[in-house]
Structures are given as structure tokens and as C-alpha cells.
A and B are shown apart, each in its own frame.
Chain A
Amino acid sequence: MAVASVETSIRTGSMTRVFLYLVLILFSLFYLLPFVVMVLNSLKPLSEITGGNMMALPEVWTVEPWISAWATAQIGIEPTGLSPYFWNSIKMVVPAVAISTMLGALNGYVLTKWRFRGDTIFFGLMLFACFIPFQIVLIPMARVLGLTGLAGSTPGLVLVHVVYGLGFTTLYFRNYYMAFPTELVRAAQIDGAGFFNIFWRILLPSSGPIIVVSVIWQFTNIWNDFLFGASFADLDSQPMTVALNNLVSSSTGVKEYNVHFAGAIIAALPTLVVYIVAGRYFVRGLMAGSVKG
């Protein structure tokens, strides 16, 4: 249950209720089907997929496709499996999420507690930056990464993701800190506390919910990014999504559907785990920000 939920006072008849449950269950099947198919077929030998029924349970259960997808499948030219790319993604996501969240928090703090002339314009500029189609920055970005020697490297990708994630993290923290009593900040100021001291001791300790929102948001977006990875990474820094796409769309040899499915699940696992473990905090934190802000 959502925290602030108020149940409707609409009343429904029993026929209607049967219909409601039917529709709701049908839709849950629609949402579950692709994932169930992926899981089932990732546990089958290839012959059961090409010669059998995709919706059927495996006759022979095997984890071979998973091992292959992780460690031995042909990706591009190397038979390395997805594992090196998994670590590439981790090395890119962790610093990018940390830096963009930290900057977002500081920006939100300044924009709400140290307001100055033109701060709304600044915020508007950041906000619009969230929504630009990234195609508009691809060419100059490739150029700048090339000139600075960051092309094809993980630090280059971290930079890209920090820059284009800043708008969202700033938005979240700004909305959240809007609701934080400014009097507390002023009182601390009178007591002689400085800029960072106030942030560190007064705002940060109560920022838990919005840090969770920002981290989940950034983690999912950056982990799932394909466009920047495909444009700016080389073999040593390619993220998971790009490797998965290479695995699935490689035109040579037999299409190993079971390996593709296993690979897709591996690529989806980190964000799914985050969603299952922390999804409810995400919705709650967002509400805390928007309801009060």
C-alpha cells in the first residue's frame, strides 16, 4: 500500500468485480509472459527451442546457456561471454551515480536555501537539459571525448552520464529540499554554522528518501543506456547493453536463442534486483518530494 493512499468510495457490484479481476489478471499475464518465456527458454537446450514449443516447460533442464552467456559466448570477435562487459558496466555506473547524486544534492541545496537572482532560470536550463534528444549532442560529444583522450574509455562514459543525469538529480533534490524548513537553516546560520556545515549536519541526515530516489533513477538509466555506450565505448569499456545487442544480433553461426535469453536476463538482473528491493522506497520518496514540494 502506498503511504498517502486514500481509498476510493466508489462501490461496485459483484458482476463488475468479476470482470475487474479478469481484466487485471489478463494484463498481469501480458506483463509476465515475455519474462517467463525468457526464463523457461534460457533453461532449455537449443534443439527444444528450434524444434519445439516456446511456451512449453523444458524437457531437459540445463544451465549450460547461462554459463555460455556469462563466460564463453562469442561477442563481437572474442569468445568471452558477457562477464567482462558486466564489469565494464559496474565500473561505469558506480562512479557516475555517486557523482551525479552528490552534485544534484548540492545544487538542490543551493537552489532552495541560498536562493539568488536568476536561480529559476538556472533551474529551467537544467530541467530542459533532462529532455533533449541525445542525438543533438552526439557529434560534438564524440569530438570532445576524442580531443581530451577520453574516447572509448570508462571515465569518458562516466563524464557523459554525470552531465546528462545532473538535471534529474538536481530536480529531485530541489523539490525535496523545498519542503525542508528554511528557518532551521537560518537558525543554524545565526549560530555561526557555515555553508557546508549546515548541509552536512542538517540537510543530509534527513535526505535518505530522496537519495534513494536519485540513486535508483540514475542506476537504472545508466545501466540501461545503449546510445552513449554504442557511440562512445570501445571493447575495453563497452557496457552490458551494447554487448547484449552484439550477442543477439550477430549474424554469424547458429542463433543460440537460449543463450540470448540467458544473456538478456543477466543484463536485466541488476536493475530488477534494485527494483524489487527498493522499488517501494522509490515511489514513497518521489511522493515525499512531490506532495510536499
Chain B
Amino acid sequence: MATTLARADYRTRLQTILPKLVLSPSLALILLFVYGFILFTIYLSFTDSRMLPSFGWVGFENYDKLFRLRHWSVAVSNLAIFSTLYISICIVIGLALAIFLDQKIRGEGVLRPIYLYPMALSFIVTGTAWKWLLDPGIGLENTMHLWGWDSFTFNWIKDRNNAIYTIVLAAVWQTSGFVMAMFLAGLRGIDNEMLKAAQIDGASNFQLYRRIIIPQLRPAFLSAFVILAHLSIKSYDLIIALTGGGPGRATEVPATFMYSYTFTRNQMGIGASSAVIMLMTIAAIMIPYLYAELREKD
């Protein structure tokens, strides 16, 4: 190797450097804007930054304050409710629709894009649509009253105890079709020979799905879970558009908390520490997953 390199002329030497040269702008961007920024935010979370970054070291004071804030614990428990329901409902609906669509359904070509199109919309658009649809004054509740069902009430979006479920509803509407597509791709990859053998042995459809098909969808379950979990932790736009975090703080989540503490309440140190907690939560889910994926492929 060394001797060939020594003998290589200018052109071939350029050819060996070129690939790394081409990669270097991207590497520089990622190292600075992702990892450098992460380190900077972690550092800020240990400082007394208020409106602007400042560098007075305060140790764990921000974290200490953060975990004592009622506002933060509301945000965390809202996120827990939201992500649990969002992930499980999306997976149930997605799997059911995928299994149903897989039964040689006529019109699959029409139904599939209908299930999928919400994914193309911005969360701001989804939020606007559902905000007025769920508004008791002009939306569903009003319609039901006009249709003669006077006792119908559906005012969750204005109700502190139930507003978080309207976020779940709109988020499920937006992404469950995408989860369906992931499961459908998994179903289409299953080998039919094994199914036929089991059918000859007299297995019912329910048994086929429970014992053979669903266990084989493990990778699809895993990717659906990882994608939904990370989407739910990041979700910000939908909440801003649908409820603005309200009524009161009823739909505040860590993403909205971070933004308001950092940019409107001038508590940058606390805002930074909340961002660090968010990153750590996502990392706990993503790193094992990515590690396993990369090892498998190499």
C-alpha cells in the first residue's frame, strides 16, 4: 500500500483525497450546526442566561428549577398522555387498515391515497382544519344541534381536562395513514407458502394473523414506534395551530415550554435545560435503534 502510494502520480493522489474533500463540507456543517450546537446548548443549560446567552456558571440550578416548575410537570405529563395515546392508536389503526386493505380489496388504489394524503399537509393546515371543526360554536357540535341532536356536546377543545385529546385526534388523523403504508409494505413482503401450509393444517384466519403474520411484522412495528415516538416528542406546530398550548396550560408540552421560556419569558437557562431533557429522551430511543440498524447493514 505504502509503495503504491509513493509511486502514485499527482492525479491518482488527487483521486484518493477527492472523496474526503467532497464529504468535508457536509461533515463540517453537521459537526458545527448539530453537534457543536448541542454542546453549546448543554453548556448554556448550566449558566445564568436570561434574555441573551451569558456564561456565569450555576451548576445544576436550572435543572433543579425546571423540575420544580409546575408548568414543566404539566408539559411532561401532557406529553406522556399524548405520546402514549398517539403511538398506540396510530399503530392499532394503521395495522387494522393495512390488514383490511390486504384482503384483495377492490378500489385499493383509490382508498390508499385517501388514507395517506394528510401526511402531505403541514401541521399548521391540519391544526387550522381541526380547530374550527372541533369548535363548539361553528363545528361538529353546532352541526349536530342543527341536525336535531340537541343534547350532543363536544367541547373538548375548550375544556381543560380534555383538550389534550383533541391534539391526539388531529395527530392520529395526520399520521395513521402513513403507519398503514408501513404495515402494508411489511404485509406484502410476507411469504405466502407458509400461510398456505398453515391453511392446509386447518388454521383459522385469526390464528394465521396472530401466530404467523403479525410476528413477522416486527421490523415494521419497531420502525413505526421509533418514528411516531420521535414525532410526538418533537411535535410543536400542531399544538400551536390547534390550541396554542391552551386553554390555560392544558395542552402545553416540552416543545412549547422550551420555546416560551427561551424566547418570550427570557429564561434561556431553563429553556436550554428543557431542550437537553428533550434531546436525551429522543437519544434514549434513537441511539439503540440506529446502532442496531447500522450494525445489521454492515
Query: Which A positions have Cβ atoms within 8 angstroms of B?
Result: 1-2, 4-12, 17, 20-21, 23-24, 27-28, 30-35, 37-38, 41, 49-50, 52-55, 103, 106-107, 109-111, 114, 116, 120, 122-129, 131-141, 143-144, 162-164, 166-167, 170, 178, 194-196, 220, 223-224, 226-227, 230-231, 241, 244-245, 248-249, 257, 260-261, 263-265, 267-268, 271-272, 274-276, 279, 283, 287, 293
Chain B residues closer than 8 Å to A27, beta-carbon distance: 93, 97, 115
In contact, A244 and B128 (Cβ under 8 angstroms): yes
* A4:B188 contact, CB within 8 angstroms: yes
Query: Counting CB contacts under 8 A, is B30 at the interface?
Result: yes
- Least CB distance from A24 to B in Å reads 6
A260–B127 alpha-carbon span in the complex (Å): 11
Assembled-state Cα–Cα distance A126/B113 (Å): 31
Complex alpha-carbon distance, A110 and B11, angstroms: 18
A139 in contact with B15 (CB, 8 Å) = no
A residues in contact with B272, CB < 8 Å: 139
Contact of B237 with A by CB under 8 A: yes
Q: A8-B190, A28-B114 are in contact. Are A227 and B236 (CB under 8 A)?
A: yes
A293 and B294 alpha carbons, distance in the complex (Å): 12
B26 near A107: Cβ-Cβ < 8 Å: yes
CB–CB B19/A244 < 8 A: no
Q: In the complex, are the beta carbons of A279 and B234 less than 8 A apart?
A: no
| Count, A-B residue pairs, CB within 8 A | 279
B145 to chain A, nearest CB (A): 9
Report B's interface with A, CB cutoff 8 A.
11, 15, 18-20, 22-23, 25-27, 29-31, 33-38, 40-41, 44, 53, 93, 96-97, 100-105, 108-109, 111, 113-126, 128-133, 137-140, 142-143, 146-147, 173, 177, 181, 184-185, 187-190, 192, 195-196, 199, 205, 208, 230, 233-234, 236-237, 240-241, 244, 254-255, 258-259, 262-263, 268, 271-272, 274-276, 278-279, 282-283, 286-287, 290-291, 294, 297-298
Known: A20-B100, A264-B124. 6 other contacts (CB 8 A): A138-B258, A139-B275, A140-B41, A260-B132, A267-B125, A271-B121
Which A-B residue pairs are the 7 nearest by beta carbons?
A224-B122, A114-B19, A275-B120, A226-B237, A34-B129, A135-B275, A140-B37
Known: A6-B189, A223-B122. A241 touches B114 (CB 8 A): no
